[in-house]
Chain A
Amino acid sequence: AQKVTQTQTSISVMEKTTVTMDCVYETQDSSYFLFWYKQTASGEIVFLIRQDSYKKENATVGHYSLNFQKPKSSIGLIITATQIEDSAVYFCAMREGNNNRIFFGDGTQLVVKP
């Protein structure tokens, strides 16, 4: 069964620091894709970054990067040099091979303080 778990409900950090958000997933498929989305205070849901299961290199986009640990079924999101506007809810998600559905975690609330 497919499942995505985010155990951190809320994280608070100081501006300009680095934060890591955790996510573990369950799948029986050997091919899958992992995503992180950001939901802003206005409710907008924005795609941030993707990791393909067959790639060993961690994906990086801007100040977002991933820590993909395949043996642990873990995909952490790392935000470096956090800014106030990074305050949002972050969702981890997974899509299996040959499946058009994406399964979401329950989200982690990030608060960046000045």
Chain B
Amino acid sequence: EAAVTQSPRNKVAVTGGKVTLSCNQTNNHNNMYWYRQDTGHGLRLIHYSYGAGSTEKGDIPDGYKASRPSQENFSLILELATPSQTSVYFCASGDAWGRPSYEQYFGPGTRLTVL
């Protein structure tokens, strides 16, 4: 069965520190996405990727970088973490346009707290 995994599942970081959130998918999907979800809100897109080596800015990219070193892996990097980045982060994968599957599949989420 298709799977998206994230690590770590929980992270406590200090203000100004560097944080890296990792995502791995075994769906063989071209596209991967990073979202954040704040309490009581929906999903907001941070960065996404169409394939290895590519990254694109989503709706709220400020303060975040992304890296897609391979088809399977997609990382979200907070170079200088701030308390406003405290949130739950979800990774997702999806097929490219023209492939039979159009939906996205989500990982379990990473709860990040920046103190």
A residues near B, CB below 8 A?
Answer: 33, 35, 37, 43-47, 50, 91, 95, 97-102, 104-107
Name the B residues within 8 Å of A35 (CB-CB): 102-103
Taking A100-B31, A100-B50, A104-B43 as contacts, is the C-beta distance between A45 and B106 under 8 angstroms? yes
- B98 to nearest A CB, angstroms? 9
Residues on B close to A: CB < 8 A? 31, 41-43, 45, 48, 50, 58, 88, 90, 92, 94, 96-97, 102-106, 108-109
Contact A95 B42 (CB under 8 A): no
Determine if B105 and A47 form an interchain contact, defined as CB atoms under 8 angstroms apart. yes
Give the residue of B42, B92, B108 whose beta carbon is less than 8 angstroms from that of A91: B42
B94 touches A102 (CB 8 A): yes
Cross-interface CB contact of B41 among A44, A100, A106, cutoff 8 Å: A106
Q: Chain B residues near A95 (CB, 8 Å)?
A: 102
Task: Give A97 to B105 CA distance when docked, in angstroms.
Answer: 19
Select one of A45, A47, A101 contacting B48, CB under 8 A.
A101
A99 with B43: CB separation less than 8 A = no
